[in-house]
Amino acid sequence: MTRLILRQDPPLHLGELQAHESLTRAAIAGFDREFGGPHMRQSHHELGRYENTWIARGALPELEPLFAAIRLAAVEILQRDRLRMAFWFNVMQPGDRTARHNHEEGNELLSGVYYLEAPPDCGDLLLYPPGDVRPIRPEVGKAVFFAPRLPHAVETNRSDQRRLSVAFNFGPAESS
């Protein structure tokens, strides 16, 4: 099984997916195949674009190894096994940015992002711990995990290519 190698850098955890190339290519291919199709919806129309692109998990079987690695990292970080995961894609074309926000809605325990496409100068993730700003440079194969209440934003994509990431939230699994 593919694993994320984690390192703690308060207030976040950084993960690097070893030998991610084929897994990342497959995830991009699945996204490109399903984008605009019947399994897709978009939300959060902000700053002239939809920030969130939701594609049904069942339509993206090639993402399951990535989701398994992300879930294992979340279990390690949170020290709990019964978790539910929500995910969405963030597509940033040249000139796009994401405004400051957090994921405090619901009872989320952990938020994060995994970078699928990250051309140079595509916009740093900005985290806002109290009294500080922490820029995180996106890199293909990198995952960043942080508290859902932590405000964050993404700088303007100044490259001439799209920036593609998959974002996620983990919360307690629903009891049956």
Average predicted confidence (pLDDT) for the chain: 93
Within-domain flag for 94:
yes
More confident residue, 88 or 44: 88
Within-domain flag for 176:
no
**3-state class of 73 per DSSP?**
helix
Gap between the Cα atoms of 63 and 74, Å rounded: 16
Within-domain flag for 36:
yes
What pLDDT, in 10s, does the model give residues 56-111?
999 999 999 999 999 999 999 999 999 999 999 999 999 999 999 999 877 899 99
Within-domain flag for 122:
yes
Helix (H) or strand (E) holding 72: helix 64-78
**Nearby residues of 130 by Cβ (< 8 Å), 6 or more positions away:** none
Gap between the Cα atoms of 70 and 76, Å rounded: 10
Whether the per-residue pLDDT at 136 is higher than 60: the answer is: yes
Within-domain flag for 99:
yes
Cβ(140)–Cβ(7) under 8 Å?
no
Within-domain flag for 148:
yes
Total structural domains in the chain?
1
Q: What pLDDT was estimated at residue 163?
A: 98
Instruction: Among 18-32, 40-54, 76-90, 115-129, name the one with the lowest average pLDDT.
Output: 40-54
Question: What range defines the domain where residue 116 resides?
Answer: 4-171
| CATH assignment of the domain containing 164 | 2.60.120.620
Instruction: Transcribe 28-54 into DSSP letters.
Output: HHHHHHHTTSTTEEEEEEETTEEEEEE
Within-domain flag for 64:
yes
Number of helices (H), then strands (E), in the chain = 2, 12
3-state helix, strand, coil in the chain (%, to 5): 20, 40, 40
- Please report, in angstroms and rounded to a whole number, the separation of the first and last CA atoms in the chain: 28
Q: What pLDDT was estimated at residue 34?
A: 98
Helix (H) or strand (E) holding 22: helix 21-34
Q: What pLDDT was estimated at residue 68?
A: 94
Within-domain flag for 97:
yes
pTM of the model: 0.93
